Amino acid sequence: MALGTALLSIFLTDRAHAEFTVCNQTLDVVNLAVGQKVDDADQTDGWWTIGANQCVNVIREELTNRYIYIYATDVFGHAILNGSIDMCIDRRRFSIRGIDECWQRGHIAARFVEVDTLEQVRWTYFLTGNSP
């Protein structure tokens, strides 16, 4: 009984930290960037590397934004999602405030996919071979 309670406690603790999770259900390794509003400004962050059939927690606090934006590439840097929202990325790890004039500010413009979390505080997005 004590073991069961301990395992349940560990499960609930881990789940409380996984507020926006991306699961890679493809057979390839992907690199992921995420965009969201932070203090009333658009911000993008990257990179998370997600192995095939693995999940990564990319936002660890409860979601306060209905919309989260994601951009994913294969290991060769080719986009694997068909996004429609222009935001900024960099080649190496980054945290960029603002989404306008990416090139002029020394960044790369990329098309992010909008994920509607339906105003939930936790959300999991599944990357599949058929992702938008």
- Structural domains of the chain, count: 1
* Residue 79 within a domain: yes
* Residue 102 within a domain: yes
* Residue 4 within a domain: no
* Residue 41 within a domain: yes
What digits encode the pLDDT tens for the residues 29-45? 999 999 999 999 999 99
Q: Long-range contacts of range 48-56, CB-CB < 8 Å, 24 or more positions apart?
A: 48/22, 50/22, 50/23, 50/24, 50/127, 51/24, 52/24, 52/26, 52/27, 52/28, 53/24, 53/25, 54/23, 54/24, 55/21, 55/22, 55/23, 55/24, 55/124, 56/21, 56/22, 56/24, 56/32
Residue 4 predicted with pLDDT over 70: no
Q: How many CB atoms lie within 10 A of CB 113?
A: 20
What digits encode the pLDDT tens for the residues 57-102? 999 999 999 999 999 999 999 999 999 999 999 999 999 999 999 9
CA–CA–CA angle 75, 110, 29 (5° rounding): 20
Structural domain span for residue 93: 19-127
Q: How far apart are CA 63 and CA 45, in angstroms?
A: 15
The overall pTM is greater than 0.75: yes
The CATH number of the domain where 70 resides is what?
2.60.40
* Residue 3 within a domain: no
* Residue 77 within a domain: yes
* Residue 96 within a domain: yes
* Residue 13 within a domain: no
C-alpha dist (Å) from residue 76 to 67, 79, 80, 91: 28, 9, 11, 12
Q: How distant is the alpha carbon of residue 65 from its chain centre?
A: 13
